[in-house]
Amino acid sequence: MATRTAALLFRRRAAAAAPKPLQQYVAGLSTAAGHDVLDDGGRSGGGEGNRKQWVELPPFAPLDANAAAQAISRGGGGEGACSNATAIRWVRRCCPHMPASLVQKLFRLRKVKRNLLTADTSSTDGITEQLRLRRVSAKDELVPGDILFLPVNIQESSVAEKTKKFGNKNEIDFIRSLEIYKDRNIIVLNKPPGMPVQGGVGIKNSIDMLSPMFEDGSSEAPRLVHRLDRDCSGVLVLGRNQLSASIMHAIFREKTADAVVNGTQQVLQRKYVALVMGRPRHPKGLLSAPLAKVVLPDGKSERLTVCAGSNTTSVQDALTEFRVIESCPQGYTWLELFPRTGRKHQLRVHCAEVLGTPIVGDYKYGRQAHQNWSPLPMPQAIDEEMLKKRKLPFGLALGGGSVAEEQPQLHLHCKQMILPDISEAMQRLQSSDADHDFSDLEKLSFVAPLPLHMRLSWEILKSVGK
């Protein structure tokens, strides 16, 4: 009898774990109509208990974003992209529209259950399955075929805690005008200078907070996968669902890890354009200078600096390629910068402290260089349209900030980014094939035009020397 019981449970679990396209499940929660289950609080005893309706999540089908990112980055097979996951990670993956705070609250209140199949041998018809639910904790690991259940009223709670909706048409039109590319898994933007990427103290609007504007009628808001400084502009990538965001975020981490180990061409490539004060000694090169965080004398502010020693855990390796585009007689230089690693403020510190050429408009790492700042004269030949200033939504402004201004804006722009085709990669990962080959995965290239203040500085520097 024990053998028959084990075989029954194994067949039920194997059927539940059969591979299915993930997109069938992640669109949202589905309430099993009329699916009443007996909640006995995890007890194995009988009794009527409390009969409730539950929301049934899809059977657990593991997918490791880190392993998938490694396979995509290195162009190999994706057989290692599957692994176990915790209960809270599976709930967040299946219910991307639910706020993280609500998911954590459900686990704290013990409202998340897992199926526990038992076999009733007392029935005259032989073995019958009984479904009993047992509480599951957030860090419990799942195995393929496990099914989690949430209270049916969770849909109402989720709606109550959704991100606020935006009704200003001008703001929505402006945000959507930033889009360079959009498919079912990612959105690529040309981030304007002055727009914060994340919220914080004193920040009312940010890309992260405004991301629901990029969607129309979707319950899931796009997620950040990397960062750009507030005053930096250019290519910024968002994941349109939790899985694509997790894989993209892991690819960015993988890029940094691989760059420290070897110098092979990377699947993720970024090119920045910067205007710096001064002229590098060499027309091109590779900067290898580790960075560490230091606290300023006021005891409150922090900044990064080049650190010669590597004996502390706070020191991070940082690699940057550079190439001179053009040197100007006024003492400025246009550079192309290719970050191999993705450290905070890496390009700004390397330009200021390693090359000795701080970026124009960088008052954090080039403060001393700007103390004697003298704006260049505005040539009469400049197009008047480039000189017009106007206000934009969210407190942004268009115009000004060039080298002809008393206080120029930061002249650092992410001009180009080359990414693997994440949508194609995800389609392969979600197929029933045991091995996923990414060696022929197409690469996508995205280019963001320079912001107005940098285009104006280019024209000024070209005209002044004539």
Distant-in-sequence, close-in-space partners of 89: CB < 8 Å, separation ≥ 6:
none
Q: Under DSSP, is residue 184 helix (H, G, I), strand (E, B) or coil?
A: coil
54-117+131-151 under CATH 3.10.290, yes or no: yes
Looking at the chain, the domain(s) classified CATH 3.10.290 span 54-117+131-151
Question: What is the pLDDT confidence band of residue 192, given thresholds at 50, 70 and 90?
Answer: very high
Rounded Cα gap, residues 161 and 158, in angstroms: 5
Q: Is the pLDDT of residue 432 over 80?
A: no
Average per-residue pLDDT for the chain: 79
Looking at the chain, the domain(s) classified CATH 3.30.2350.10 span 169-263
Q: Is the pLDDT of residue 31 over 70?
A: no
Task: Check residue 306 and give its pLDDT.
Answer: 92
Q: What is the pLDDT of residues 258-286, one digit of tens each?
A: 665 555 557 889 999 999 999 999 999 99
Task: Check residue 218 and give its pLDDT.
Answer: 66
CATH number of 269-416+449-464: 3.30.2350
Task: Check residue 428 and give its pLDDT.
Answer: 80
Residues assigned a catalytic role: 229
Task: Check residue 17 and give its pLDDT.
Answer: 40
Q: What is the pLDDT of residues 416-425, one digit of tens each?
A: 999 999 998 8
Instruction: Give the pTM.
Output: 0.72
Q: Is the pLDDT of residue 317 over 60?
A: yes
169-263 under CATH 3.30.420.40, yes or no: no
Task: Check residue 68 and give its pLDDT.
Answer: 72
Q: Is the pLDDT of residue 34 over 80?
A: no
Q: Are 239 and 248 in contact (CB under 8 A)?
A: yes
Distant-in-sequence, close-in-space partners of 415: CB < 8 Å, separation ≥ 6:
234, 235, 271, 272, 273, 336, 447, 448, 450
**If phi over 0 gives left and psi between -120 and 50 gives alpha, with beta otherwise, what is residue 127?**
beta
Token digits of residue 216: 């129309």
Q: Is the pLDDT of residue 55 over 70?
A: yes
Question: What is the pLDDT confidence band of residue 76, given thresholds at 50, 70 and 90?
Answer: low
The 3-class secondary structure across 7-26, one letter per residue, is HHHHHHHHHHCCCCCHHHCC
Q: Under DSSP, is residue 169 helix (H, G, I), strand (E, B) or coil?
A: helix
Least confident range of 31-45, 61-75, 157-171, 319-333: 31-45
